[in-house]
Chains A and B, each alone.
Chain A
Amino acid sequence: MDNRIKNYVDELFYDAPKSRKMYEIKEEILSNVIDKYEDLIREGIDENSAFKIAISNIGDIEELIEKNSDIEEKQEIYRKKSGLINAIVTGLYILSPVPIITIQNELGVILLLAIIALATGLSIYNSSLRPKYITVDDDLYKEFVDWKNDTNQDRKVRKEMSSIITSITIIVYFIVSFTFRNWDISWVIFLIGGLVKKIYFVYYDRKNRIKYGGNY
């Protein structure tokens, strides 16, 4: 019989957005309806009537669902826009070496840097578009913030190391290229730089995993 109530409430929320907030409303209503049902059974009412009385008291939940779908809609718009920007950013990063390969002089380098700057700028702009979450009072959200604060230190170190390695790569690239005038081949330094970064992060994560007892 509990299942019948659960199915009924599930059905009511069938069209509701699949957010944590909606799930909590559903759980709260479900537990109240089950309480009522069990009380009615204790009073000696038969299962069928108890079920009918219990569900008849739910009322109109449409209003509750609509309020929440506004937030969902905003997030949906953001998701689409963000996906498009991410695609452009990725495309720009992939295409960035093209001027170096085709032009093969300082102009190529300038173009490469310009494209990378544009892509990075777009990426930053994209993250600033993220809608503010209204679920500040949410338990899970709090847990998430706590967790994020714990790992923030790690992320900071990662980010700093990442930009240091990138800067070093660019500096080495220019020094090598201008000294040896080997623009045709010196771009390999970027690949090496990327590789160094990857290796460093693998090493860093491994170290952390050991630090957090293997359950990172």
Chain B
Amino acid sequence: MSITSDLIRGHTETIILARLIQSDSYGYEINKHIKIKTDNEYELKEATLYSTFKRLEDGGMIVSYWGDGNKGARRKYYSVTQKGKDYYDIQKRDWIKTKELIENLIY
């Protein structure tokens, strides 16, 4: 996990946007989804998650609203904007290109 996290970190925004494009969601649910999809190999820290949300929200990629949560506290939900979807498409395209490039270089 520690080996891959540095490589993954640069894609945190894209990973979160990918999840939000499917449906509105909140911090823990997004993280759980990541954990399940990676077979327990990867999980974001709360602090990383929050600062990424903040960055995306400041950039107009996502918007947030408070919803009903567990008994302890309210849940903050996030929803992707059109700008966020566009950004996701660009990031995805870039990643596919980068992947091919690296593969060519290191094999």
A63 neighbours in B (Cβ, 8 Å): 47, 51
Write the nearest CB–CB distance from B61 to chain A, whole angstroms. Answer: 13
Contact with A along B33-44 (1 / 0, CB 8 A): 000000000010
Contact A58 B45 (CB under 8 A): yes
Q: Once bound together, how far apart are the Cα atoms of A137 and B63, in whole Å? A: 9
Contact B28 A32 (CB under 8 A): yes
Contact B32 A27 (CB under 8 A): no
Given A2-B71, A32-B27, A32-B28, A24–B76 Cβ distance below 8 Å?
yes
A30 neighbours in B (Cβ, 8 Å): 72-73
Quick check: is B50 within 8 A (CB to CB) of the other chain? yes
> Which residues 114-141 of A have a CB within 8 angstroms of B?
137, 139
Contact of B28 among A2, A6, A36 (CB under 8 A): A36
Contact of A2 among B27, B72, B76 (CB under 8 A): B72
Contact A137 B57 (CB under 8 A): yes
Closest 4 CB pairs of A and B: A59-B45, A59-B47, A31-B73, A35-B28
B76 neighbours in A (Cβ, 8 Å): 24, 27-28, 31
Q: Most chain-A CB neighbours within 10 Å: which of B45, B66, B72?
A: B72
> Which residues 26-56 of A have a CB within 8 angstroms of B?
27-36, 38-39
Q: Once bound together, how far apart are the Cα atoms of A180 and B2, in whole Å? A: 91
Contact A64 B75 (CB under 8 A): no
B75 neighbours in A (Cβ, 8 Å): 31, 35
A34: nearest residue on chain B (CB-CB)? B72
> Which residues 3-25 of A have a CB within 8 angstroms of B?
5-6, 24-25
A38 neighbours in B (Cβ, 8 Å): 70
Given A2-B72, A35-B70, A29–B57 Cβ distance below 8 Å?
no
Quick check: is B26 within 8 A (CB to CB) of the other chain? yes
A6 neighbours in B (Cβ, 8 Å): 72
Quick check: is B48 within 8 A (CB to CB) of the other chain? yes
How many chain B residues touch the partner (CB < 8 A)? 24
Seen from chain A, the residues whose Cβ lies within 8 Å of a Cβ on chain B are: 2, 5-6, 24-25, 27-36, 38-39, 57-61, 63-64, 137, 139
Contact of A57 among B29, B43, B50, B51 (CB under 8 A): B43
Q: Once bound together, how far apart are the Cα atoms of A29 and B48, in whole Å? A: 11
B60: nearest residue on chain A (CB-CB)? A137
Quick check: is B81 within 8 A (CB to CB) of the other chain? no
26 chain-A/chain-B pairs, Cβ below 8 angstroms = A5-B72, A27-B76, A28-B73, A29-B46, A29-B50, A30-B73, A31-B28, A31-B69, A31-B73, A31-B74, A32-B27, A32-B46, A32-B49, A33-B46, A34-B73, A35-B29, A57-B43, A57-B45, A57-B46, A58-B45, A60-B45, A61-B47, A63-B47, A64-B47, A137-B57, A139-B66
List 16 additional A-B contacts (Cβ < 8 Å) besides A35-B29, A58-B45, A59-B45. Answer: A25-B50, A27-B76, A28-B76, A31-B27, A31-B69, A32-B27, A32-B46, A34-B72, A35-B69, A39-B28, A59-B48, A61-B46, A61-B47, A64-B47, A64-B51, A137-B57
